[in-house]
Structures are given as C-alpha cells and as structure tokens.
Structure 1
Amino acid sequence: MYKRSSLSLASATLCGTLIVSGCANHLSQRSEHEERIERKLLEHSLQVDVGEPKTLELPQRRVLIHELKTFDVTEFEVTRHYDRYTPYQPWREIYEIPLGAVAIVAGVGANIVNVVTFGSLPDSITKDWISYGVAGLNPFMNAPSHGRAQQNLAGIDEVQRDHHVERSSLPWSESPVDVEAGNQSHELITDRNGVLRINLLDSPFAEQDLSRVTQLNLSVEDNQATVHANATLPLSKSLRGKLIEAHDLIYDDLEDDEVSQWVHRVKRLSDLGLEEEASDLEQTLIEMTRNDPQLQHELLKSLAKDAGRLVAVPATAE
C-alpha cells in the first residue's frame, strides 16, 4: 500500500514537472543595443558682458548675457538580453499534433535526401522540421512561433565607451534681467540671442530723472535661484548732463513746430554726440511729412543747408 502510494505521488510529481517545464517553448535569445549618456553638472554660472567702454557714454548699450555649464559626461554602450518563448495555449494542440506528425515525416524524408545529396539541404529543412514536429506532437508544448513570442529581460550589460568634460555656453534667451537705476528697479527681457538692449531715452528710463544716477546695477538669476550674476554699468557725468535736453528734443510735440525748429532738434542731437538718436528723429520727420511733398521738400532742403545732413529723398516724395 505504502509503495503504491509513493509510486502514485512520484508519477504525479513527474507529470506536473513535465507540464510546467513543457508549457513554454523557448526560442533563441534576443539582444537590444543602445547608447546611454550620463551628464553630471559640475559647474553652473551666469555671465554678464556689459561691453566697452565700461562707462556708458551714449544712451544705448547692448548687454550680452550667457549661461555657462560644465558637465562630467560618461557614455555607455548598453546591451539588453531577452529570453524569448512561445506561451502555451492548449487549444492549439488540435491542429499542432497532426501538423507535427506531418513535419516529422517530412523531416525524416529530408534527412534521407540530404544524405543522398551529400548534405546539400539547409538545416532549416533537415533539423527545423523535426524540431517543429516533436514540439507539435508534445501535448504539453506548443510549436515554436515567432509571431506569438513573448520575452522576459534576462540581463543587462553595460560597457563604458567614453568619459570627458563638456562645456556649454548658451544665450540667456528671452529671460528677465533686473536693472536698478537709483531708487527704481525695472525688469527687462533679453532677446532670443541673450542680448539686453538698454536705451536711457526710451521706456522705462525715459520717465525717470537720471541726472543723479551714477550707475545701473544689473542682476540675473535662474528659475531655481541657484545661480545669479551681477554687473554694474557706470553712467558718465557727460551723458547724465545730456539726457534731459535730449529727452526734450526727442519727445516734445513736433506738430506745432516749424521746419526750422525740426532741423534745430536734429542738429542739436548730432552736436550732443547722439548721432543715432538724430538719425531716428530725422526719419520720423520725413515719414511725418510723407503726405505733404512740398513740406517734405522744404524739410530735406533745410536739413542739408542748415544742419549739413545729406538725406536721400524717399521714393514716395516728389
């Protein structure tokens, strides 16, 4: 009785083992290759270049701001290995068992032919057909199928390919810059190239008396407030003395003035050394008289005679 029970238990265990081990039909292992790059930030800073000369002599200045980063870079080649198998589905045995029998017969025949032809047939016929047939006849295993294959990650291999230090310098693009002028602070925005354009005769500085402001204090800070940079831009005494007069010459009402007063404004700005502002005002006056050819002609003539400015006659003027 005891021996018979032990034999039954051993048989059941063996069958169970065959079922569990036989359910999955293992396929060839598959590997994936990729490159992985690790970057470790070593240094992060902001750089403000106020340009030359260091002291502001003219109302306009382009300030260049860059974000500097230094990285420790390690490059790896990563290989992932996957074990592939065909999951067991019992209902497939309905057609796999007869197909397996056919495959074995065909495989045996192919091997006989292969012997006669001195091994001219490929392994996909002589060996694979028999392997497929055996798996098909096994009621606890499906025939191998790449279309139904599933996979599990078996292991990962990493090989270091390179290790170097990488430095980057990117413009502080479209980002805020705090500019302190005396007791007032203004937030300006850089352009896409990281350039901050300062014009003391334009908003927001045009509304402020800068005659007692000796310098502009510039401050930039990243979004996480982890890095910041400061710079100062001194204003020359000569420039501070010109700003009030230049502001009046540019912004006082033009429509009530005579041509001679317009020309005087342009000439005076030029005499103050503010040539860019003089040219801008000149173009504004020419555009303003575009619909009055006679007045525009008088303006151009007076600019040439009284201010010594040679201005090309616009195509729309006659």
Structure 2
Amino acid sequence: MPTPRSIASVCVALTLAGCANQLPQRSEYETRAERTLVDHNLRMEIGEPVLQLPQRRIRIQDQKTFEVTDFEVTRRYDRYTPYQAWRELYEIPLGAVAVVAGVGANIINVFLLGTLPESVTRGWIDYGFAGLNPFMNVESNGRSQQNLASLEEQRRAARLEYSSLPWAERPVAVRTGSQHYELLTDRGGILHLNLLDEDIGQADRLHLSVEDPQDNVRADEVLLVNRDLQQKLQEAHELIFSDLESDDVRQWVHRVDRLEELGLEEEASELELSLIELTRHDPELQREFLDLLKLQTGRSAL
C-alpha cells in the first residue's frame, strides 16, 4: 500500500512535470566576422636619401593585413509558459467553457463540410484541456520564458583585408649623433622635417624611427645631409632667426636676397611673408620694404 510519503513524491513529480506549458521552439540567425592580425609594418617614404634642402616632407603609413573569417551562428531556444497556481482560478472555468465550445464547433463543422478554421475546431479544445489541467497554465506568449537549447556555428569563407592608414599625430624619433629629438606628424601622417627649426643640421646624418608600442613594430630610416647644405645652414639660421626689429629695411632685403642666393627659396619666401606681417600696421614702412625688395632683387609681393 502506498505510503503518504510516496504519494507526496508522485504529486510533486507530476507538478514539476506538468507546470511548464511548452511553446514552439524559437531560432535566431546571425552572421559575424572575426579579424585576426597577420602582418603589421610601418613605412616611411623619405624620398631621396640625401637632403639637399633643409625642409623635407616625409609620409609615414601604418599598414596592416588581417585575416577575416565569416561565421553563421544559429541559436535555438526552448520556450515555455511558467506555472502560476493562482491563474487556475480563472483558467479552469474558462477551460471547461472552451472544451464545450470546441466540441460544439466540431459538430457544426461536420455540417459545414469542414470550413471552420483549425484554430476553432482544434484550438479551443487544446486551450480548454490546458485550462482544466490544474498543474499547467495555458500557453501565453506574453509571459513566455526561454532557455538556450543549442548553439551552432558554421565557418564560411576566409579572406584577407589590407589597411593603410596615416601615422597621424604620432611621434617620430630623430637622432643626430648624441642629440635626440621627438617630432610629431600632422593629421595626414606627414612629418614636416625642417633642419632650421630644430637646429639639427650640423650633423651629417639623421636617424629617423617610429614604433607602435602595442606590438613593438618599428621602422628606421637614415637621411644623409649634403655637405654644402651643412655649410649653408649656419648662415641661414642667423639670417632667419636673428632679431628682425633691430634691423632697417635694407638689412631685411639683404636677408631675403641672401637666402635666395643660398638656394633656399622656400625659406626666403617665408621670411618675406614674416616681414610683410611684421609691417602690417605700418603701411608706409611696408611699402618701403616691398619697393626696395623689388628694386634690388626683382621679387614681387607674394
């Protein structure tokens, strides 16, 4: 004869087995791509290896190669309506009504030659029996919960992707003998090297290096400084950076003219613009400078 404990165990088992009303399984599909770095290098486009002029624009590129693999991912979820006992207070009477209605609908459907939809003839009966079951709630998409049942990944095609980005606003180390400098590229990855700006033209060679600290990839280049350029740089530095305001107009013209004679046309033009800006608030002095510049050198206002 069954004991009270065994009866209770059976009741608990039935409750646990019947409390969840299973819903149709749901699937999700998605695609994703994994990118793996396979090659990384930095490239400096230094141009001619010998500097003939004090200014040089050097382009630096950050080049990477990735292996890109596509995956298709399928996730399947088991869905169910969780059991809440208090809902049986209205589901049982509604279930009884639904069973009676479903039986009546099937009888009518016989006379209508099966024209009633299955949601009426079968759906009402299914709803009714689920409602009559005291250990199960009827299906409810609004209250449904889900658990991940399976996860499948299928690998598709793999391909290589290449990127070449400017080394934008990043440091460039410059070494000349025992001196070390750190310059920055612009937003386009261009290093504007000017031997006069840093007064680094006294050395006969420049060692340039860039390094990515994330993976220690680096690039090194060497620029030689032309011997004639080395001799010109000291004089050019004096012509450009000595105090302008202490000189008269003739000395200004001499500075511009001498830079042009040294073959430093870009520096001569920059000094000319600086002098025009310096005399912006003195139109008479500015006109005197421009007239004398044109008379002695043939240069017109830029």
* 1:239 partnered with 2:235: no
Kindly provide the amino acid, as one letter, of the partner of residue 149 in structure 1. S
* 1:46 partnered with 2:36: no
Do the aligned partners of residues 140 and 283 (structure 1) sit closer, same or farther apart at CA in structure 2, a change above 3 Å counting? same
TM-score by length of 1: 0.88
Moved more, 53-62 or 144-153: 53-62
- In the TM superposition, what is the alpha-carbon distance from 1:10 to its structure 2 partner? 6.6
* 1:5 partnered with 2:2: yes
Distance 1:279 1:119 in 2: 97
The DSSP-based 3-state class of the residue aligned with 2:80 is strand
The DSSP-based 3-state class of the residue aligned with 2:301 is coil
Q: Deviations over 1:145-185 (max 9, x none)?
A: 11111111100122222111222222222222211122111
Give the corresponding residue for 1:178: 173
Kindly provide the amino acid, as one letter, of the partner of residue 191 in structure 2. L
Kindly provide the amino acid, as one letter, of the partner of residue 38 in structure 1. E
Q: 1:62 aligns with which of 40, 57, 60?
A: 57
Equivalent runs, 1:98-177 vs 2, <5 Å: 98-177=93-172
Give the corresponding residue for 2:81: 86
Q: Which runs of no fewer than 5 residues in structure 1 stay unpaired?
A: 313-318
- In the TM superposition, what is the alpha-carbon distance from 1:126 to its structure 2 partner? 2.7
Q: 1:293 aligns with which of 265, 278, 283?
A: 283
The DSSP-based 3-state class of the residue aligned with 1:70 is strand
The DSSP-based 3-state class of the residue aligned with 1:238 is helix
Equivalent runs, 1:167-206 vs 2, <5 Å: 167-202=162-197, 205-206=198-199
- In the TM superposition, what is the alpha-carbon distance from 1:262 to its structure 2 partner? 0.8
- In the TM superposition, what is the alpha-carbon distance from 1:192 to its structure 2 partner? 2.4
Give the corresponding residue for 1:268: 258
Q: Deviations over 1:245-302 (max 9, x none)?
A: 1111111111121111111111111222211111111111111111111111111111
Distance 1:254 1:306 in 2: 19
Distance 1:135 1:104 in 2: 10
TM-score by length of 2: 0.93
Equivalent runs, 1:238-257 vs 2, <5 Å: 238-257=228-247
The DSSP-based 3-state class of the residue aligned with 2:2 is helix
- In the TM superposition, what is the alpha-carbon distance from 1:14 to its structure 2 partner? 4.2
Moved more, 8-17 or 108-117: 8-17
Distance 1:310 1:148 in 2: 85
Distance 2:159 2:244 in 1: 63
Distance 2:104 2:49 in 1: 94
- In the TM superposition, what is the alpha-carbon distance from 1:77 to its structure 2 partner? 0.8
Whether the aligned pair in 2 keeps the contact of 1:69 and 1:167 (CA below 8 Å) is yes
- In the TM superposition, what is the alpha-carbon distance from 1:12 to its structure 2 partner? 4.8
Kindly provide the amino acid, as one letter, of the partner of residue 244 in structure 2. L
Whether the aligned pair in 2 keeps the contact of 1:264 and 1:307 (CA below 8 Å) is no
Distance 1:91 1:262 in 2: 99
- In the TM superposition, what is the alpha-carbon distance from 1:127 to its structure 2 partner? 2.4
Do the aligned partners of residues 227 and 267 (structure 1) sit closer, same or farther apart at CA in structure 2, a change above 3 Å counting? same
Do the aligned partners of residues 187 and 122 (structure 1) sit closer, same or farther apart at CA in structure 2, a change above 3 Å counting? farther
* 1:25 partnered with 2:21: yes
Give the corresponding residue for 1:34: 30
Give the corresponding residue for 1:278: 268
- In the TM superposition, what is the alpha-carbon distance from 1:28 to its structure 2 partner? 0.8
The DSSP-based 3-state class of the residue aligned with 1:18 is helix
Distance 1:47 1:113 in 2: 84
Distance 1:273 1:128 in 2: 96
Kindly provide the amino acid, as one letter, of the partner of residue 5 in structure 1. P
Distance 1:112 1:72 in 2: 66
Distance 2:173 2:288 in 1: 45
Q: Which runs of no fewer than 5 residues in structure 2 stay unpaired?
A: none
- In the TM superposition, what is the alpha-carbon distance from 1:108 to its structure 2 partner? 2.7
Distance 2:154 2:217 in 1: 35
The DSSP-based 3-state class of the residue aligned with 1:193 is coil
* 1:219 partnered with 2:209: yes
For this pair of structures, how many residues does the alignment match? 302
